Amino acid sequence: MQERFLDQQIVYGGRFEQFLRELLTNSGVFWMFDIVRQSTQNGLNTYIGSLPHWVLFGSGLVQAWIISRNPQRQHWWHHFIAPVLYTLIDVVLEGPSAFFSEPYHIMYWIWAGTMALAYLLENYSMSFATLLKSLLLVSLLPASYMLAEWDTAHLAPLGYWFNQPSHMFILMGIIVLGLLLGSASIMRERFERLLYDLAEHFEQIASWSFDTGLIQSAYTSDKALALQRQERTVLFMDIRGFTPWSEAHEPHEVVEMVNQFYRTVEPLIKANNGFKIQMTGDEIMTRFYSANDAFAAAQALQPAVSRTLAQYGLSAGIGLHSGEVIEGLVGGQQTRQYGIFGDTVNVAARLQSQAKAGEIVMSQTTWEKLSPQPANGHPKKCELILKGKTEPMTVVVLSLG
């Protein structure tokens, strides 16, 4: 499975932002309207001194925390967490008869149930569910207003709204407001979904050329892609006999063979902490933080690639060299590429060109960085004069194919 660098925080905010969003748009909304109603009726001090009201608040916090842990995978039954928790605790504090005699407790359960239904309907119609959630949120205002007058009048809910023009104005105004907010929420959610889909699409494209960690760093720092000097061990691998073989086969056969080669190489390099590979025909190049990782990758690559290429009568050689490179983004205004440059890269390429089928040819510099130095593969030292060099270079040759 492809490693992801796209974090949902880019679109939906961090964990704390998602927690606040859930608390202020769902889990804590009933408590917020309840504190307004209760404090205007009985005074804020009375509300603050009432333990059940803080239980209601705490239950909303718990529900918001649970949902915000993974808001993209919330279930409809999550919206009963706060009502169940509040009911269980408040029944113990006030007793069952006192609890169920309070109209706002019944309204809380009705509101939570319809909100859960709205989230359930998201599986069938996202737009309708979003509109319903907006109507439910704004409905708490007239419902709280009605509850505020519950103790001062004998209320029949239908008569309360339809018999007084002022009440009808509040109800109809809230419905219109809910529809407007719902329409805005639908457009916002569509935009968020589009933004996230585009981000996923560009993530896939970028991941073909850039390492996950590099892109994450570039998101937080403009200097992450800048040219800089680094210590690296560079690995080159090339298919031996590729040119005459490709001349004797159809283009689609060549492409299929090269793709199999790449599919074999990629996971082994990744497993050994290598960077994203750079491909040039039948040749690959990558780099490692340490010589040990590079050699471990080479050891894994030779037998695996040999098995892949054997069916085509081909094989591969590997070259390793360690040293300082210039690493970063280069190019013009229209085309840029992240790569590594310098003599270390050139030497690794020259060593690879000297490797016979199944061999790993590494510089003395890389060999001395290995800890412990391998005994398998019958390592032998020799001196080679590499292309572009005037002095012979001491190398270590291992045959692991």
For the chain, where do the domains classified as CATH 3.30.70.1230 start and end? 212-399
Structure tokens at 10: 């880019």
Report the CATH fold assignment for 212-399. Alpha-Beta Plaits (3.30.70)
Neighbouring-strand partners of residue 182: none
Residue 188 has pLDDT above 60, yes or no: yes
Q: Which of 54-63, 271-280, 363-372 has the lowest mean pLDDT?
A: 271-280
- pLDDT tens profile 274-312: 888 888 888 999 999 999 999 999 999 999 999 999 999
Burial of 164 (0-12, 13-18, 19+ CB in 10 A): exposed
- pLDDT tens profile 318-366: 999 999 999 888 877 777 777 889 999 999 999 999 998 889 999 999 9
What is the per-residue pLDDT for 7? 53
- 368-372's contacts with Cβ under 8 Å and 24+ in sequence apart are 369/233, 369/290, 369/291, 369/292, 369/322, 370/291, 370/292, 370/295, 371/292
pTM (two decimals): 0.60
Do residues 12 and 82 touch, judged by C-beta distance below 8 A?
Answer: no
What is the per-residue pLDDT for 151? 61
Average pLDDT, the chain: 85
Cα torsion for 201, 207, 209, 211, to the nearest 10°?
A: 150
DSSP state of 43: -
Residue 224 has pLDDT above 80, yes or no: no
